Each structure stands twice: as structure tokens, then as C-alpha cells.
Amino acid sequence: MSDWERASTARVLPPARPRKLAKVPYVELADGRVQGVVSSGSDIGRVYVSSVAASTYEFACSTNNNRPCGGARGMFCNHILALLNESTIQYGAERVARYLRVEPPEPTAQAISQTMGATRPSQGDNTAAASVFSQFLRHLAYLEFEASTAPVPELHWFPPTRAVG
Amino acid sequence: MRTDLLSDPIAGLDEALAVADAFDDVLVAGLLRPQKIVGLTELAEALAGSPLASRVAEAAEKTAAGAAGEDHFVSLAAARTAVFGSVHDAVLARLAEATGRPWEEEEAVRRVSASDLPNLLAAARSWLSDLARAGWQGIDHDLISASAPTISALLAEPSLRRLAVLLDGFAAELAASCPGAALERVPVRRWGDLWSRGMLLTLPSATPALGTVTGRLLPLGVDLLEHSTAAQAQVHAVFEPEDGSTPRLVRASVTVPKPDTVIGAGIWQLLRPRLSLLTAIGEGRSMELTEMPVTAEGDLLWQDGHARLGEPADAFSTARVALPKAAMPSVAPLDRHPVRIAVPVFLEGYGIEGEEDALTFTFAGNHLAVETDRIPAAGPLTPKAVASSSACIGLIRWDGGFRLQPLAVETTVRKKTTAVHAGAWAGGTTDKAGVKAEKAATDAAAVLRERAGRLLRK
């Protein structure tokens, strides 16, 4: 057994890296997809829910009101490209490539997008959009919780780490 | 500080850890139909002389037979917790010996209070039981995402913050590790810890006795703790009572759930408004407390109305003069786990070996590992500063061995001794890099708040 396996404070997740949120307020690696929410460039009340699946690279993009994205016809739209770009900033290109099971020639967002695009992935339906959007709302709800000064000793299991994964 | 005592073996420690390790191995494949039942029988044997003996023996037997229910899992979690309680006590006793500090008498008055949200706790216990049945190798996305509604409901309930924050951080790790069948390695002790702590937090809990204190608070440093969706700043300080009685070590903490994109300086921005002490630390000041609520464990239940800014107080003077005489607080029985050991110490006259990410302080042949990885990114303290330091305020921790978490160092900058604090930016900063980090964090938070304002509750 390694020290890591026998450590109470073994680091499992690498720390998130800072990124600007204006264009892509939310991105996650979840449910076998890189998925998230992209703000519309023209209408501040509209967002796009975009996703790319691991392995098949099947993609989808629609508004939060479930209207299809005009750009995502047969290929990745600009929302999906922006989503992939921001995902590599937040999680690191290596981790995103590993999650999507892509082997790009170099670990960059552009190489990841091009490698997947070259396989001519199919466009999926928008069934996942509702759950991605509700994940985003759940994420935003974290802003609403009050800070408290009661002791929470459980956080001693969660030290910060400087290591970038 | 007798650093030589930190490398001496502790009697019985390896045996206790072997029991826990064997049980943790059972959790890898799960408790539904356990194959390796030796971990269960050894756990029951270890508890044979304790008040838990018959409950744990029954739980081990039923679990080995694949016929266990939730109550049995609770008993196993309690047994594992008791084993780590003994490890905690042995490690802390050694630390008390090494620091030579007095202990505070245990105040026995505890009140067990039933929660008024039993259904929510039952839902959490039910999910944790499903998790234990599946085992770490059996986790999948459906099982982990099933916890989301319960965790959201727990987070909305301030009285259940401990369980909420624990499960939220735990579930995020598990989700990122799915499917369990494909895991190359499993953090078995860590997940065993989080699982058993979570199980116990779903039970009616004993609340610690409360008192109040009046006197002077001399901060030593700030410990930052965080997972992707929660953060805590914990200030370690020496408290000098107004009545001239023995000074004691106390802590003041502030905890907040956060979106995972709020990081670095953004965390200080969320915590700062609720704890005026963070501003005092940034300004290098003490605080005067008047009837501030405090637990028997030395945790101040901070309310800004009971504190006002005091005289300037240098943390290194506090560490040199006041810290050696300060009494160590007692620890609540259920909180006795080695992971929460964080004993403030002052060290100087050490040698330094190793690279910045694997530093060791040396004391006449004895070595103390330095955890530079724990230094928060949003602050002026760096591993490099620690590697060239001449004096250090830190927390002694234990995770399989003693180690030092630096909170502040004295180092020489342009031939002048300068103090650098990990938590220097907690209250805000005028440092150039700090201002830039604050600006980026403010922008990120503003975008999220704008999006939330537009999209939430529509």
C-alpha cells in the first residue's frame, strides 16, 4: 500500500485554475461529457447549453429554452469551441483530453477540437440540456449560502494544494 | 519544543492502524457480500474491551453474512471512528509532551440533541449505506449523482453545515473517480474516513458546552481549508483572559459554501465580511473580546459585535512569548481523529534540506517534513520563502507521521528580517500581485452574480 492510499488528506482532485467567466460561466466534466453553459453574444438574457460526449464526440447545442443553435449544423459551433477552450483553462488540456478520450497531437484546446472534428462526429439530440442547465443553476445557488462561524472540523480533510494536475 | 520526540515510535499505533486498514480494505469491494471478512472480525476484536463491543460484534457478523442493515453500518463506522480516536489521543499526547504545554481539563457537560430534520439525515444515511454496499470499486455515476438532492437540501440548512460540506466534497471526489471498476488506485483511508464521519454526522449529536470569554486575542496565523465547493479560514490565536488566568489556545473560523469557479483571492472575499478578525490580522493587530461565545474545545463562535480592534500585535512576538505558556484545549470525543490535529508551534534554529516541494527542517539529526503544498496560492508566502527562512510559525499535523504546515516565516529580504504570512491577504491587500488577484476574483464573482440574478428563480 502506498502512502497516498493510507493518507487521510490524499489529494484526489487537482485544484481548479482561474479563468474569466464572462463568455462561458459554467463548464463541467460530468455524465461522460464536457458540458456547460455559454452566454449568447447578442442577447444577455439567453444562454446556450453545449456539450461534447467522450469517445463518440457526439455534440449538442441549444438555448436554455430548448431552441436549436443555428451554428451547430453538422459541426462544432462557436459555443462548443468556446466551451472546449474554457474547459482546458479550468481543468487543464491533458485532463480534458483524457476525459474525452482524444489523443491530440499537442495538449491544446485547438488540437483537441480539431482531432475530434476530423472524425466527423454526429450531432446528438438536446435531451441532456435540461439537466446541464439545472446543474448550472445549482452551481449558481452556491452564491446564496451564508458564511457561518460555527466550527466545521470536517474541512481538515480538505487542505488546499498548490500542485496543478 | 522537543522535536526528537516527533520521530520516536508511538506504542500501539501500528496495531491500531492495521485494524483500520483491514476494515478499509473491506470497503473497497463493498459491504453487500464482502469477500475478505477478516477486516470485519479484526475490527470487532479491537473493540472487544469497549462499550461498543456487542454492537460491533453483531454488526461484523451480520455484515460478513451479507445480512447487514443501516444500523449495523453505523456501528461499523462508530468502531472505525473509535480506533482513530485512540490514534488521535496517542498522537496528541506525544505532541503535548514535545511542546511541553499544559492541557485544559475536559469539561464533561454535553447535551445530546435530536435533530428536527430526521428525514434529511435519514436520506443522507441511506445514501452512505448504498455507497458502502457498492464499495469504492462499485461506484458509478447514477449512485453518486443520487446524492445531489440530499446534499442541496443539507446545504440549505445551516445547522447541518458540517454534514453538508463533508458530503459535498466527498461526492465531488467520487464523481470524478467513476466508474470505480476502472480505478487504478483508491484513497482507501481517506474515503473510509469521510464515509465513517458522514455516517456519524447523520446521528443526533452532542453539542459542546458553551461559555463566554473576555480578554485579549493575539493572532498567530490563518489556516485555509477548501474543497471545490466550500472553504474555511481558521485563525489560530493565543487568548489572554482579562482576569489574568492561564492564557489558552483558541481558534476562530468562518466557513462558506462557494461555486467551484470562485478560487484564490475570491475565497478571501467570501469569508472576509463575516470575520472582522481577518482584517485585524491583515493590519497586524490584536483584538479585544467582550463576552465572546466559546466552546469547551476552544472554538470561538465569532460575532463581530463582541470584538473590537486592539493594539498592534506582531505574530512572531506572540509566538515567542505567549505561545509557550498557552494551554491546549480539550477535544470533543467524536472529533478525535488525527486529521484535525493542528497544534501551533514556533520553530527557529533549524537546518533546511530538500527541494521546495519536499522540504525538511532538521534539528540536530531529527527531521520534520514541511508541507509547502498546503500554503494557499492567494498569499505572499511561498515555498521558496519557507526554504530560506530562519524562523517559522506553523501547525504540527499528523497523517501517518508528523509534519509542519507553515503559517508564517521570518526570512531575510535585502539584509532585513521580514515576516511573511500565508494569510496576509485574508483581510485585503495592497500588494501588487494581490490586487491583481483580487480584481480577477471580483470580476468572476460579478459575472456569476449577474448570471444568477438573470437566470435563477425565473
Domain locations along chain A:
26-136
- Do residues B281 and B229 both lie within one domain? yes
Q: Do B254 and A148 touch (CB under 8 A)?
A: yes
Render pLDDT for A92-126 as a digit per residue (tens, 0 to 9): 999 899 999 999 999 999 999 999 999 999 998 88
Per-residue cell: B123: 436520506
- B271 and B231 Cβ atoms separated by less than 8 Å: yes
- Do residues B179 and B220 both lie within one domain? no
Q: Could you tell me how many CB contacts below 8 A there are between chain A and chain B?
A: 216
Per-residue cell: A132: 446541464
Domain end residue (candidates: B276, B300, B325): B325
3-state secondary structure of B164: helix
Residue B404 lies in a domain: no
Q: What is the pLDDT of residue B117?
A: 87
- Do residues B15 and B59 both lie within one domain? yes
Residue B370 lies in a domain: no
- Do residues B221 and B306 both lie within one domain? yes
Q: Do A8 and B175 touch (CB under 8 A)?
A: no
- Judged by phi (left if over 0) then psi (alpha if -120 to 50, else beta), residue B57 lies in alpha
pLDDT interval class at A165 (50, 70, 90):
very low
Q: What is the pLDDT of residue A90?
A: 92
Which DSSP letter does residue A165 get? -
Residue B10 lies in a domain: yes
Query: Model pTM?
Result: 0.94
Among the listed residues B161, B187, B159, B163, the one whose alpha carbon sits nearest the alpha carbon of residue B173: B187
Q: Give the neighbor-by-neighbor strand order of the sheet with A26-30.
A: A26-30, A33-39, A47-53, A59-63
Render pLDDT for A32-91 as a digit per residue (tens, 0 to 9): 899 999 999 888 888 999 999 999 999 999 998 889 998 877 889 999 999 999 999 999
Q: What is the pLDDT of residue B209?
A: 78
Q: Among partner residues A2, A16, A147, which is closest to B228 by beta-carbon distance?
A: A16
Residue B349 lies in a domain: no
Domain end residue (candidates: B100, B123, B152): B100
Cα A25-A112-A106 angle, rounded to 5 deg: 120
Domain count, chain B: 3
- Do residues B139 and B80 both lie within one domain? no
Residue B381 lies in a domain: no
pLDDT interval class at A147 (50, 70, 90):
very high
Q: What is the pLDDT of residue A116?
A: 96
Q: What is the pLDDT of residue B106?
A: 66
- B37 and B64 Cβ atoms separated by less than 8 Å: yes
Domain end residue (candidates: B203, B220, B244): B203
Calpha distance B402→B384 (Å, rounded): 21
- Do residues B199 and B215 both lie within one domain? no
Q: Is the per-residue pLDDT at A151 higher than 70?
A: yes
Residue B236 lies in a domain: yes
Which amino acid would we find at residue B397? R
Q: Among partner residues A12, A19, A151, which is closest to B299 by beta-carbon distance?
A: A151
**Can you tell me which residue has the cell 460530468?**
A30
Q: Among partner residues B257, B339, B440, which is closest to A18 by beta-carbon distance?
A: B440
Q: What is the pLDDT of residue B414?
A: 86
Q: Among partner residues B189, B259, B271, which is closest to A139 by beta-carbon distance?
A: B259
Q: Is the per-residue pLDDT at A164 higher than 60?
A: no
Cis peptide before B149 (omega within 30 of 0): no
Taking 50 as the pLDDT cut, the residues of chain B under it are none
**Chain centre to alpha carbon of residue B302:** 18
Task: Label residue A159 exposed, middle or buried (CB < 10 Å: 0-12, 13-18, 19+).
Answer: buried
Q: Do B176 and A31 touch (CB under 8 A)?
A: no
- Do residues B219 and B198 both lie within one domain? no
Which amino acid would we find at residue B258? K
Q: Do A146 and B256 touch (CB under 8 A)?
A: yes
The residue in chain B having the minimum alpha-carbon distance to the alpha carbon of residue A15 is B228
Domain boundaries, position B244: 209-325
Q: Do A149 and B303 touch (CB under 8 A)?
A: yes
Residue B284 lies in a domain: yes
The residue in chain B having the minimum alpha-carbon distance to the alpha carbon of residue A135 is B148
How distant is the Cα of B448 from the closest Cα of chain A, in angstroms?
A: 7
- Do residues B220 and B321 both lie within one domain? yes
Q: Do A8 and B338 touch (CB under 8 A)?
A: yes
Q: Do A153 and B340 touch (CB under 8 A)?
A: yes
How distant is the Cα of B455 from the closest Cα of chain A, in angstroms?
A: 8
Calpha distance A62→A43 (Å, rounded): 14
- Helix then strand then coil, in percent of chain B rounded to 5, is 45, 25, 30
